[in-house]
C-alpha cells in the first residue's frame, strides 16, 4: 500500500467512527414524538388521532408571515392535481359567496415575484403550510414567546 492509499483508508475509518459516535450521541439526547421507534419502523402504539378544532374563528399569529391555521375541519378534503377543495371557498372568485377569507396575494406569485392570473402551482397544496388545530395539552414542553411578548419585555427593561 502506498502512502496515499493508507492515508485515505485512515481518513475513511476516522470519518466513519466519528459519524457513529455522533449518531449514538444524538439518539440519546433528541426527544421525539416517536418515543424511540426507528424511522424505518412502524410505531406499535401510535398516539390516538384527535378531533380537529372546528371553531371557525381566526387565531392570533405568533410571528410575522406565519401561515394562518385552519379554523375548521378538513377531513376528506381532496387536494390533488385535478382538484383543491380549499379553493372552493377561498379562491378569489368564491369568497363573496362563501364569506371565507381570500387566499393571500402571495399565493398568486411565481418564484420570480411575478403575479399570475391564478394560484401559483407552488402554493396549490395548502396543507404544506396551513394546518388544523386540536384542543389538547401540548405534547412537548414549549417555551416559545411570540414577538409581542418579547417587545413588551424589552420595553420594560429599558
Do 37 and 72 belong together in one domain? no
Do 61 and 118 belong together in one domain? yes
Q: Which are the contacts of 125, defined by CB distance < 8 A and separation ≥ 6?
A: 79, 84
Do 55 and 132 belong together in one domain? yes
Residue 157 lies in a domain: no
Do 37 and 56 belong together in one domain? no
Residue 86 has pLDDT above 70, yes or no: yes
Mean predicted lDDT score pLDDT of the chain: 84
**pTM beyond 0.75:** no
3-state SS class at 155:
helix
Give the pLDDT confidence of 13-53 residue by residue, as tens digits.
877 777 776 665 555 556 677 777 888 888 887 777 778 88
Number of domains in the chain: 2
Number of neighbours of residue 126 by Cβ within 10 angstroms: 21
* Dist CA 60 CA 68 (whole Å): 8
Give the pLDDT confidence of 42-74 residue by residue, as tens digits.
888 777 777 888 887 888 888 888 999 999 989
Do 76 and 117 belong together in one domain? yes
pLDDT at 23: 63
32: containing domain: 1-47
**Which sign, positive or negative, has the C-alpha torsion 107, 111, 117, 122?**
negative
Do 40 and 55 belong together in one domain? no
In 83-157, alpha helices (H): 87-90, 95-98, 147-157
Amino acid at each position: 500500500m502506498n502512502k496515499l492509499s493508507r492515508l485515505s483508508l485512515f481518513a475513511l475509518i476516522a470519518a466513519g467512527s466519528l459519524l457513529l459516535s455522533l449518531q449514538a450521541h444524538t439518539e440519546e439526547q433528541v426527544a421525539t414524538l416517536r418515543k424511540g421507534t426507528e424511522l424505518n419502523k412502524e410505531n406499535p402504539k401510535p398516539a390516538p388521532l384527535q378531533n380537529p378544532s372546528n371553531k371557525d374563528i381566526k387565531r392570533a399569529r405568533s410571528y410575522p408571515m406565519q401561515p394562518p391555521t385552519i379554523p375548521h375541519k378538513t377531513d376528506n378534503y381532496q387536494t390533488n392535481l385535478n382538484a383543491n377543495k380549499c379553493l372552493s371557498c377561498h379562491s378569489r372568485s368564491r369568497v363573496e359567496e362563501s364569506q371565507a377569507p381570500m387566499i393571500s396575494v402571495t399565493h398568486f406569485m411565481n418564484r420570480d415575484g411575478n403575479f399570475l392570473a391564478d394560484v401559483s402551482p407552488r402554493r396549490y397544496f395548502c396543507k404544506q403550510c396551513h394546518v388544523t388545530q386540536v384542543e389538547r395539552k401540548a405534547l412537548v414542553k414549549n417555551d416559545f414567546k411570540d414577538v409581542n411578548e418579547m417587545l413588551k419585555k424589552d420595553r420594560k427593561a429599558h
